[in-house]
Amino acid sequence: MTAKSQYLVRACPLCGAQAPSAMEVCTQPRAQDLPFEDLVPQWNGFYKDKAIFSYARCPHCSLLYAPIYFTESQLGNLYAQMPPNMDEVPEAALERTQRGYFDVFRRHSPLTGSYIEVGPDVGLFTKNCVRDGNFDRYWLFEPNDDVRPMLEKVVSGQRAQIVQDMFGFPALPDGEASTAVMIHVLDHLLDPLKTLQVLRTKLRPDARLMLVTHDEGSLLRKLVAVRWPAFCLQHPQIYRPDTMRSLLRAAGFEVLALEKTTNHFRLDFLLKHLLWAFGIKIKNLPSFGGLTLGLKLGNMLTVATPSDTTSELQI
C-alpha cells in the first residue's frame, strides 16, 4: 500500500468539482507521500522541513483546498492529542484579540436570544457575550473535556449547556437560536458546506452568524508563500473573501460584513514563529518587556444572516 492510498481523496468541498492536476501550494516532502505515522509529530507545530498536503485552486469556484487529506478516523486520533489552542500565547493577548472580535460583532447583533458556539475552547469570546450581552441561553459545543471546568466557570449562573460533541447541534430545536459563532473552526472542517447548512436550520430568520478564519488572500500569505503558518496539516481548505462569500451563499446566508481582524501577540512570540517559518529554530528569545502588538496578520471576520434562498454552484 502506498502512503497516498492511506488518505481521503476529495472533490472541491464547496462546488463538488474534481481537483485539477496542478497544485498551487506544496512542500517537499509532500504530506500525501508520507505514511500517517510520520505526520503525527508535525501535527502540533511548524518545522524546518514541514510537510503539508498540497493545495489546489478549484478551477470552478476558486477555493484553495487539499484534494488529498486525512480521513475522519485519522483526524480523530490527531485531535485527541492536540494541546489547547494557542497555549503559547499569553492569555492577556488572547483576551484582547477576542475582545476585538466581539466589538466588531456587537455592531451587527443585538446580543439577545439563544447563543450557539462551536469550538469555544476556554470561552474567551463567550466571556464577552456573558458580560456585555443579554443572551438568555447558551449552547456550547466543545470536544476537549479538559477545558470544561473553565467553560463552566464562564457561563456560571447562566442557562447553559456544554456538549462534548463538536457537531451535536443537529439535536437542537430548529429555528430558535439568534446567534452562532465559530472562531477558527471552519478552516478545519472536511465538509464546511454541509455543516453550515445544518447550522442554518437551527437559526432564526434574523439570526447572526460570526466566523473567524484565515485569509489566504492576505499580504502576509503573499510575503511568506508556503511558509505562511496557516498552510499546515490542520487546514483542509483555506478561504479568502470571495470564496467565503461563495460558501455562505451556497449554505443559504447573506454576508453583512467581512473585514480583516486585529490579533494581539507578544513580540517574542511573533519573532520566534517568524524565524520558525523560515526554518530557524529558536526556543528562547528575550521577553522585550512583554511588549504586545496588535497586527492585521492574515485573519478575517465574517458576519452573515440567513437568506431566503441558497445559491447552488453549478459545475
Domains, the chain:
4-80 (no CATH), 91-306 (3.40.50.150)
CA separation, residue 22 to residues 9, 191, 242 (Å): 15, 22, 21
What pLDDT is attached to residue 278?
A: 65
* Pick from 133, 143, 13: nearest CA to 85: 143
Residue 131 main-chain phi, psi, to 5 deg: -75, -45
Cell numbers placing 271: 519573532
pLDDT(104) > 80: yes
What pLDDT is attached to residue 78?
A: 87
* Pick from 10, 1, 2: nearest CA to 69: 10
The model's pTM is: 0.90
What pLDDT is attached to residue 312?
A: 62
In the structure, what pLDDT confidence band is assigned to residue 1 with cuts at 50, 70 and 90?
low
Q: What is the pLDDT of residues 13-50, one digit of tens each?
A: 999 999 999 999 999 999 999 999 999 888 876 555 78
C-alpha 303/C-alpha 209 separation (Å) is: 6
User: Could you tell me where the DSSP H helices lie in 155-266?
Assistant: 192-201, 219-224, 241-251
Q: What is the pLDDT of residues 241-260, one digit of tens each?
A: 999 999 999 999 999 999 99
pLDDT(98) > 70: yes
Q: What is the pLDDT of residues 117-158, one digit of tens each?
A: 999 999 999 999 999 999 999 999 998 888 999 999 999 999
Phi-psi region of 132 (alpha: psi -120 to 50; beta: other; left: phi over 0): alpha
